[in-house]
A and B are shown apart, each in its own frame.
Chain A
Amino acid sequence: MARKIVITSGKGGVGKTTVCANLGYKLALLGNRVVLVDVDIGLNNLDVVTGVENKIVFDIVDVIQNKCRANQALLQDINQPNLYIMPSAHSYNKVCVTAENIKKVIQTLDTFFDFVLIDCPAGIDEPFYRAIVGADEALVVVTPHISSLRDADKVIVILNSFGITNINIIVNRVRGDLVLSSEMMDVKSIEELLKTNLIGVVPEDDTICKNYSIVGTQFNGNSDNAFLYLAQNISLGTRKIFDCTKAYRGFWGYLKRTIKRRV
């Protein structure tokens, strides 16, 4: 039986889709059978991040409408044979997409995979409820900014009220140089503020901007190890948290920090 994990945040633009794609890739790398389900209907981006946007024949809405079977809509990742993507529709059909329908699709995938990662839309409206209803666990992605923390706090309360008690937070886009110079909140403070277990930290990574299709061989940025630790924490139960400040400590770190600030 698969572990069904929803990746959510409340706030948009914090990196839910990026975390979903990279976490899926690393989980697959560790030998797990993983499927990424894009539930962000109408505002789908998981296909672009994973680089499968030109291969889509069927999507999740076609599965719901019985135009195809669930396995026919799945796309295998080019670099990682254990990783599959169920793309979302680019047009929004309000009638057929209900929470119950999404839940059924996720249940169909249950027996074939070890992990079902659900990419949740931003907000706490109906699309959010549709995304969380099929999940057993939640990963709340936050950035070290007040607006993100505020939304995450509300989302955690809602997830709890829906019976999802296994909730962990991922702090994304942490800048180690700013944390060291006390200009950005550290991850410990964020964990204390949200009173939720921290399962991973991902540094701000310039290569994500350069190569938008980050999943696979093109990607070897700073966050590569951070995602590997995150995947190990989730699948193997380890407690490895990536230290974003490590690269900026010591003499060379100080130089790097100073240069980065001036550029």
Chain B
Amino acid sequence: MQTIAQITSTRASKVLIADKQAVGQNFVELLKSDVYNLLSSYLKLNKDAVFVNFNIGQNGKYNLSITAQANYIKNVGLMPK
């Protein structure tokens, strides 16, 4: 049987996680856009093939997974002499 302290702790954890889940759709779109812009400096990307998934684990930490498909790697790091 769980003690009152354990029940309170579990409930508090659930409340905090539920609050963190209330992240606007705009945030994911913004993140996706920034990820695309950053990766585009290095790779030729298909914008529709950039996926950003965002969820919260049981420990209350955000789990973020980014998937992208690129056609080719750009020539980077070569400065003209």
Interface residues of A, Cβ cutoff 8 Å to B: 144, 146, 149-150, 153-154, 179, 182-186, 189, 193, 195
Q: Which residues in B have their C-beta under 8 angstroms from that of A184?
A: 4-5, 8
- Contact call B3/A146, Cβ cutoff below 8 A: no
With beta carbons under 8 angstroms apart, the residue of A149, A179, A182, A183 that contacts B12 is: A149
- Contact call B60/A182, Cβ cutoff below 8 A: no
Q: Which residues in A have their C-beta under 8 angstroms from that of B16?
A: 149-150, 153, 193
- Closest residue of B by beta carbon distance from A183: B4
- Contact call B15/A182, Cβ cutoff below 8 A: no
- Contact call B19/A182, Cβ cutoff below 8 A: no
The yes or no answer to B6 lying at the interface (CB within 8 A) is yes
With A193-B16, A195-B60 in contact, do A182 and B11 touch (Cβ < 8 Å)? no
The docked-state distance in angstroms from the alpha carbon of A149 to that of B61 is 16
The yes or no answer to B33 lying at the interface (CB within 8 A) is no
Residue pairs across A and B with CB atoms within 8 Å: the count is 40
The docked-state distance in angstroms from the alpha carbon of A154 to that of B61 is 14
The yes or no answer to B13 lying at the interface (CB within 8 A) is yes
With beta carbons under 8 angstroms apart, the residue of B4, B9, B12, B60 that contacts A150 is: B12
- Contact call A146/B11, Cβ cutoff below 8 A: yes
The docked-state distance in angstroms from the alpha carbon of A47 to that of B59 is 42
Q: Which residues in B have their C-beta under 8 angstroms from that of A154?
A: 19
Q: Which residues in A have their C-beta under 8 angstroms from that of B5?
A: 179, 182-186, 189
The docked-state distance in angstroms from the alpha carbon of A153 to that of B13 is 11
With A146-B15, A150-B15, A150-B19 in contact, do A193 and B9 touch (Cβ < 8 Å)? yes
- Closest residue of A by beta carbon distance from B13: A193
Most buried by A among B4, B8, B11: B8
- B15 vs chain A, min Cβ distance (A): 5
B1-29: CB near A (< 8 Å → 1, else 0) gives 00111101101110110010000000000
The docked-state distance in angstroms from the alpha carbon of A179 to that of B3 is 11
Q: Which residues in B have their C-beta under 8 angstroms from that of A189?
A: 5, 9
Q: Which residues in B have their C-beta under 8 angstroms from that of A183?
A: 3-5
- Contact call A146/B8, Cβ cutoff below 8 A: yes
- B61 vs chain A, min Cβ distance (A): 8
The docked-state distance in angstroms from the alpha carbon of A102 to that of B8 is 39
With beta carbons under 8 angstroms apart, the residue of B8, B60, B61 that contacts A185 is: B8
- Closest residue of B by beta carbon distance from A189: B9
With A183-B3, A185-B5 in contact, do A193 and B12 touch (Cβ < 8 Å)? yes
Q: Which residues in B have their C-beta under 8 angstroms from that of A186?
A: 5
Q: Which residues in A have their C-beta under 8 angstroms from that of B3?
A: 182-183
Query: What 17 additional pairs, Cβ within 8 angstroms, besides A154-B19, A183-B4?
Result: A146-B8, A146-B11, A149-B16, A150-B12, A182-B3, A182-B4, A182-B5, A183-B3, A183-B5, A184-B5, A185-B5, A185-B8, A185-B9, A189-B9, A193-B16, A195-B60, A195-B61
